[in-house]
Structures are given as C-alpha cells and as structure tokens.
Amino acid sequence: MRSLVLTIFLLSLLSCKSEPVVHYSSDQVHGYWEVFKAKRNKKVTNTLNGAWVKILGNEMMDNFFSNETAYEFKVEGNTITHLTNPQRDFTIEYLTKDTMILSTIHNEFRFDFEFKKVAD
C-alpha cells in the first residue's frame, strides 16, 4: 500500500510542470513607453496617468520612480533590473512590439503597469 501511495505521489509530482521563463533582450524593450493603465496592490490607480518609461541604448529612465534620471539597466530572462540606488526589478509579464506589462514591488506595494509604445 505504501509503495502505491509513493508511486502515485511521485507520478503526480513529475507530471507537474512549471511555465518556462521567457528570455527577453534589451532590444525588445527598447523605446518610449507610456502607461495606459496602472494598479497598486491590484487596485486601479489614476495617480500614474501620464507616467512613462524610456529605455534607450543602455539607459532607462522614468517619471514615477527615478525622477527622470537616466540609469543603466539590464535584461535577464523576464526581468528588467533598473540599476538605480536601490536597484529596482521589473518582471516582464507580457511583451509585444507595442504593448508591455511590467510588475514591481516599491515601498511594500505591488505595482502593475500596462504600457503602450509611443516611439522607438
């Protein structure tokens, strides 16, 4: 009986598959992006209307966390790391050539940003 339970457990464990991490490049996130929808702790917030992020060359700047100061950034897997002080990690939840959804934690609040690309 024990071996049957152990076999069932192992088979169910092996059949569980996690979603693979998508690997993005800096070229894919390059451009000028404007927020068209933002959430703070899963609630829509209008205080970030008009917010933007510019990712050009090896620098990234925004007008909501970094006060329009350019800092270097890196892209690894599905994470954009903005090398500010302290550094900030954004998870790329979704990305096409004209839409990008990022999430991050700032001051213990979760933020979800939906961006539309305005320019390259």
Question: Domain extents for the chain?
Answer: 20-119
**Residues contacting 68, CB < 8 A, separation 6+:** 61, 62
Which CATH code, of 3.30.1360.200, 3.40.50.2300, 2.40.128.280, 1.20.120.420, is assigned to 20-119? Answer: 2.40.128.280
Q: What's the pLDDT band for 1 if we cut at 50, 70, 90? A: low
pTM of the model: 0.81
Q: How many CA atoms lie within 13 A of 38 on its CB side?
A: 17
Strand partners, 106: 109
Which tens digit of pLDDT belongs to each residue from 15-64?
555 667 789 999 999 999 999 999 999 999 999 988 999 999 999 999 98
